[in-house]
Chains A and B, each alone.
Chain A
Amino acid sequence: MNVPAPTGARRGGTVRDARINMSHGSGGKAMRALIEDVFVSAFDNPMLGALEDQARIPLADLATHGDRLAFTTDTYVVDPLFFPGGDIGTLAVAGTVNDLAMCGARPLFLSCGMVLEEGLDVDILRRVVASMKRVADQAGVAIVTGDTKVVERGAADKLFVNTAGIGVVPQGVAISANRARPGDVVIVNGVLGDHGTAILIARNQLALEADVSSDCQPLDGLVATMLAVCPSIHCLRDATRGGIATVLNEFAQSSNVGIRIREDALPLREEVKGACEILGLDPLYLANEGKLVAVVAATDADRVLTAMRAHPAGAAAVVIGEVTERPTGMVVLHTVFGGERIVDMLVGEQLPRIC
């Protein structure tokens, strides 16, 4: 992991410390042991195992999957590191896999960059790495290169992860936020706001208890299923920070169309609704980590829905609205009560109301 590996390097270093210290980032033996013991052994693939400064990927192999490379990166700083339904490791792999999948790409290779705070329990790191491996296997991607830095106590909060990812887009697939057309339908793959609610509750600032887990999951398999029945999906995005409200606004603005959604069609758990009622939050803006918003032609809707529902990540897929000509660049919600309101982009963080 960016350590020059002398030919015939001795393998099998072991980390004996219970906590990360500055020597684990020094480039010396302690760092080497950390990399081999924690990362290489867990991620377990020949490209990483070669211990070169970079992974070398045969172009011919890539070309068998399609005609364009998709390349993305994301950094994960979630607090707390562990929460119901996942941890920073599951997020770091699923998040980057999903960013690739949203253009229809088949995700193939990931990098893993870590910033570790001095004093971090090595066991915590091992748990995070194990989660990364589990989700990577689930998504069929390999973590083939990486980097580790250790910073002094207080210079980072426990553990930050960056993952970059490479995937290949199949020929003929042209998903884009600017392809929504009036008459298209808007589909989501299941209940909304679980991740945001789970994190709020896990932070334990609210003295709220509810049985909500993060929806963190890779979506590449679901997208492949959708593309198999409908190669001409118009728009596709995962609704992470900013929730589906943000994604829908991005579609409306890029495509210069209006989007109308129905509040009574939004799939929401009672627990999520309740937390939002108590805190004055709007579930449309809550983060998800395993939810996508798709825009497809009305004639394709039934086929796509049937395919989605047959996949575990899309079992609760539903149509939530449609694309209209007007109001251009705006999202309008038809409320359960029978009125209408605009759903705008958030200005900043959602702040709870005082009374």
Chain B
Amino acid sequence: MIYLDLFLGFLRVGCFAFGGAYGAIPLIRDVVLSYGWLTDETLTYMIAVSESTPGPIMVNLATYVGSSQGGLLGAIIATLAVVLPSFFVILLLMVALKTLLKNKYVQAILRGLKPCIIGIILATGVYMTVNHVVSLESATVSIQAAIITAILAVVMFCSKPILKKKMSPIMLIMVSAALGIVVYGI
């Protein structure tokens, strides 16, 4: 029964996908390919689509696979299954959180984790920004990407002193889409 398969398959993804979407992609591949829901090629294409459409990548993939296998109902079932585990884990944690966070050993662990995550986020941002301009695999520089990066960086980091208000992420996304159409379109 396809609905049960979809539910169990994506429940597994939701349960064991630690560390966000990029950490989860190997697991998603494993589940999706082992059930034969998508071919390797469609999966790669879908990962690209999931990255370029709004929302969590895992949820996007679940919706797509669910809809391709079982229509609207399949999409709903797969999406719920991928979300359920994290929803309940956080709810459970919230109940215990207040006391847990006051524990001095937990605090010591958090003191180590916070700067580590900041470092990871910074590295991800640096890598993604640089990688768009200079492709590490082919060692080529994209002039269009360099132009867009420069304009966006100026807009993002210089808007605060001038406008006295920080550029909102939504505005930056819209500006970047327009820039993409113009710069790559020429």
Question: Does B associate with A?
Answer: no
Q: Identify the A interface with B (CB < 8 A).
A: none
Chain B residues with CB under 8 Å of chain A are: none
